[in-house]
Chain A
C-alpha cells in the first residue's frame, strides 16, 4: 500500500474525541457524500488511524463571494476562478466511530485522543469500508450522538456499505444490520421504523 496516504481529501481543522471538522478545497465537493467513512492519517506509527462518518458538509461564504453575489455580469471565468482560489475551505464534520489500534485491530469506540490539526483526511476504500462495516458496534455511537441526525446518517452509511459488497450479499447484510438496529432501538419504534424504511433494499438501487 505504497500510496495509501496519497491524495488526502482535506485536513483537520478542529477536533475532539467525539469527532472533528476538516477543510477541503471546493473541487473536492464531488467526491464527498453524507454517510461516507473517512479516516485520518496518524502523525506517527504509534498513533491510531481514526475512522468516522461524514455527516455535515458546508460551504461558508467569504468576502469575495459576497461581492460576486451582488455583482452584475460575472463571467464564467470569474466564478470558476473564485471556486479554485477561494480562501474559505469547504468544511465537513465527521463523527468519530472508531479507530485502528496500533496492533492493527479496528475498535468501534471513541478514539483515545483526537486527531491533531492539519492531519490529512482520506476517503476509505471499498475494502476498508467493508472491513469497518463487518461489525455493527458503531451503531450505538451513531444513534446516540446528539449532534447528528442518527437514523439518517446510519442509513446513508449502511446503503453505501451494502454497495461495497457483492450483490448476492447485499440483502443479507442489510437485514442483519436492520436486526442490530432493532436491538438498539427496541424502545423507540418510530426511529427504528424510520431507519428501516431508509435502508429498504429497493432504495439501494435508487441511490446508485
Chain B
C-alpha cells in the first residue's frame, strides 16, 4: 500500500482505481495479476483494458481471463463461513482472491510513443484500469483518415478510431454469428470509407442491406448509404421490381448476357451448384465448339444434336445431362438475357472512376446463392481485368490509375472456400494484396470455412460474437497477441459489440459498436471541425505495424 509516485505517473497524471499487482506470466502467455482485496471481481469483464505501470513504460493490456485462486488447498475443502461478514472480509482479501489474466497489447514509453510489446513489466508492478486519457493516447482523435467506429468497453465517452487508409489498402473481414450486427458494422465501415473518400466501393448487396433503407429489429427504418451520400453512391439492381417496391429509384438495371458467361464463371459455382470436374470439362469443350452462344445452344438443343456431341467428343452422357440440368436453373434468373443493352462492367467502372460507390442490389435473387456467386464473379473478374490493364498502362503514374476499390461480398466462404479459392477471382484478389488497388471486404459468419491463405491476407478483422471454436481460431490466427482474445471473443454481447484487430488499429480492441442512428447520419454529413492530428499512434505507426510491406499473417 506504499504510495510511490514514479515520474511516469507524474507525467501521466493520477488514476484510479488500482486493481492489483503483476505476480507472474510471460511474454508469450500474458501476465497474471493478483487482484487487491478491494477489487470487485464481478465488475471486471473480459475484454476490458488495463494498464500496467512498469518502471519506464505503460503496458496496455486486455483482460483475457479471470480466475479464482486461493493460497491453500484446505480452504477449498473446508470453505470458511462466509455468512460471517468479518470472516468474509478477511478471507476474501487474503487466502481467497481473484486473478486476472491479461495480454499486453502495446507499450507507451516515457516519450509517449507507442511501441510493440517486446518485454513485460517486472514482478509486482501495479495494474490499473485504463482511463479515457490512456485510450486517447493510443487511438487519437477522429480526423480525415481516422474514423470512429465505437467506444471501448466501460469507457463509453471515448472513441476507437480506425485508420481508413490502412483499412482499405488491405482486405477487411467482418465476422460474427447471425444477427450479431455484421451488416450494421459493415454499413458503418462503408459509410466511413465513403465519407472520407478512402476508397470507392462495389458492394454485392445480397439482402438489400446497404443501398436503401432497412428495417431494424425494432421495426423502424434505418437509412442506407445512398440516403446518406446521394452524390457518392449509386444503386444498381438485378431486380428492378424489388428495388422499386422498396422505394428505390435505381441508377442502373443490370442485365447479363448468357453469351457472356464463360466456363470460368461456372468454376466458382463448383460447390454451390455441385458441378463436377467432368461437367466443367464438358462446359469448356462446348464453349470451344459452339463459341459464345454455348449455353443457349445447349439449353435449346434437339436430342439428336446432343447425341452427336456424345459421339464426337469426350463428353459423357450423364455429365452432359447433369450440366444441362444445372444450367436450366439459370433460366429462372430474369437478369440473364440473350443480348444485353449496355455494358454493365463499363457502367460500373464509369461510376467508380468518378469516385462513386456502387451498391448492387440482388432483390429476390439474393436468396439464390448461385445467382449471387455467378454475378459477383462475373462482374469482379471483368472489372479486375480492366483494373489490371489500367494500372499496368499507367506505368506507376498515380494520376493515371483508377481509384482504390474495395469490393464487398457476403457469405464470403462460398467464394473463398479452400477448394475454390485458388481458382476464383476473389481468391486471387485476396492473395495479390494491393498491387492492383482492389481489395475485399468480406462479410461472413463462418470464417473457418474460408481458405487459410486468404484469411492470412485479411489485414483488418472486425468480429462480433462467434461461438464456434473453429471460427474463433480462424479469426485470431496469425494476429500477434490475439490468442488471449479467445475467451473475450466467445463472450461478447450478442449484439453491437465487436473486437477490432489487425492493420487498421494499433492494438486489438473490444468495442461497443457505434449506434447507427440519427446522430450517425448527422456526423456523416457534417465536416470534421478542426480536430487535432496529434496522435501517438500516428507518430510511431511504423514501429508498431512493422514494415509497411504487409506480407500476410504468418
Interface residues of A (CB under 8 A from B): 171, 174-175, 178-183, 186-187, 189, 193, 196, 200-201
Contacts and interface: CB of A to CB of B under 8 A. Distances in A.
Contacts of A187: 72, 74
Contact of A175 (B72, B74, B89): B89
B80 A174 contact: no
Nearest to A175: B89
Given A189-B74, A189-B78, A174 B94 contact: no
Interface centre among A174, A179, A181, A182 (most CB of B within 10 A): A182
A187 B95 CA distance: 10
6 contacts: A178-B90, A180-B94, A183-B94, A186-B75, A186-B95, A189-B74
A200 B80 CA distance: 14
Contacts of A175: 86, 89-90, 93
A201 to B, nearest CB: 6
Contacts of B90: 175, 178-179, 181-182, 196
Given A179-B37, A193-B80, A186 B86 contact: no
Interface string B82-101: 00101101110111000000
Given A175-B89, A189-B78, 19 more contacts: A174-B86, A175-B86, A175-B93, A178-B86, A178-B89, A178-B94, A179-B93, A179-B94, A182-B71, A182-B90, A182-B91, A186-B71, A186-B72, A186-B75, A186-B94, A189-B72, A189-B74, A200-B84, A200-B86
A183 B94 CA distance: 6
Interface residues of B, number: 16
A174 B90 CA distance: 9
Nearest to B84: A200
Residue of B72, B75, B89, B94 with highest tally of chain A CB at under 10 A: B94
B95 A182 contact: yes
B71 A183 contact: yes
Nearest to B80: A193
Closest 6 CB pairs of A and B: A178-B90, A182-B94, A179-B94, A186-B71, A186-B72, A189-B74
Contacts of A200: 84, 86-87
B86 A201 contact: yes
A180 B93 CA distance: 10
A181 to B, nearest CB: 8
Nearest to A179: B94
A196 B87 contact: yes
Contacts of A179: 37, 90, 93-94
A95 B44 CA distance: 45
B86 to A, nearest CB: 5
A196 B71 CA distance: 17
B266 to A, nearest CB: 71
A29 to B, nearest CB: 32
Contacts of B86: 171, 174-175, 178, 196, 200-201
Nearest to A171: B86
Contact of B75 (A171, A180, A189): A189
Nearest to B1: A176
A37 to B, nearest CB: 23
B92 to A, nearest CB: 9
A200 to B, nearest CB: 5
B252 to A, nearest CB: 73
A134 to B, nearest CB: 12
Contacts of B75: 186, 189
Contacts of B72: 186-187, 189
Nearest to A189: B74
Contacts of B71: 182-183, 186
Nearest to B70: A186
Contacts of B84: 200
A123 B105 CA distance: 57
Interface in B86-132: 86-87, 89-91, 93-95
Contacts of B95: 182-183, 186
B229 to A, nearest CB: 60
A95 B86 CA distance: 28
A183 B70 CA distance: 11
Contacts of A201: 86
Interface in B47-88: 71-72, 74-75, 78, 80, 84, 86-87
A179 B89 CA distance: 8
A77 B66 CA distance: 73
Contacts of B78: 189
A189 B84 CA distance: 16
A193 B87 CA distance: 9
Contacts of A171: 86
A182 B91 CA distance: 7
A179 B88 CA distance: 11
A196 B37 CA distance: 17
Name the residue among B37, B84, B95 with the largest chain A CB count within 10 angstroms: B95
A201 B86 CA distance: 7
B68 to A, nearest CB: 15
A147 B78 CA distance: 29
A200 B88 CA distance: 11
Nearest to B87: A196
B34 to A, nearest CB: 12
B186 to A, nearest CB: 51
Interface string B11-32: 0000000000000000000000
Nearest to B78: A189
A178 B71 CA distance: 15
Nearest to B75: A189
A9 B84 CA distance: 40
A140 to B, nearest CB: 15
A180 B94 CA distance: 8
Contacts of B93: 175, 179
Nearest to B96: A182
A175 B85 CA distance: 10
Nearest to A192: B95
Interface string B473-516: 00000000000000000000000000000000000000000000
